[in-house]
Amino acid sequence: MKKFIYTFVVILTLGTGINNVSAAENKAPKTELTTAQKIQLEKITNRLEEIRKMDKSHLSRAERVALRKELKEMKQEAKALSGGVYLSVGAIIIIILLLILIL
């Protein structure tokens, strides 16, 4: 049982180190945004600047909640425009373990 645990820890440690190194080396060039996406991203940026400059101390609780909700939606939309799929290290480890068990 100890041998299995030690082996698992070594594989986990090496797997994490390899993922970090390969992620640093393989920086893919970003795809260019279309004009419509650029315009939408610029609108989001402008609205964000307006919100930052806004005096929030005079807002009611409902207005602050609505403002937070709007910011979250804009953040999700900006992520969708920029594209890309991101996996955490934990997710990668789970996928590798599942592949090892299946194969």
Quick check: 43 and 35 in contact, CB under 8 A?
no
Quick check: 33 and 41 in contact, CB under 8 A?
yes
What integer pLDDT is reported at residue 66 of this predicted model? 92
Q: Is residue 24 over pLDDT 60? A: no
Tens digits of residue pLDDT in 54-101: 888 888 999 999 999 999 998 888 777 766 666 778 888 888 888 888
User: Rounded CA gap, 41 and 36, in Å?
Assistant: 9
- Which DSSP string do the residues of 69-89 spell out, in sequence order? HHHHHHHHHHHHHH------H
Domain boundaries, the chain: 30-102
Of 11-15, 24-28, 84-88, which range is least confident?
Answer: 24-28
Look up residue 21 and give its two tokens.
């190194």
What share of the chain has pLDDT > 70, as a percent? 76
Q: Is residue 21 over pLDDT 50? A: no
User: Rounded CA gap, 6 and 12, in Å?
Assistant: 10
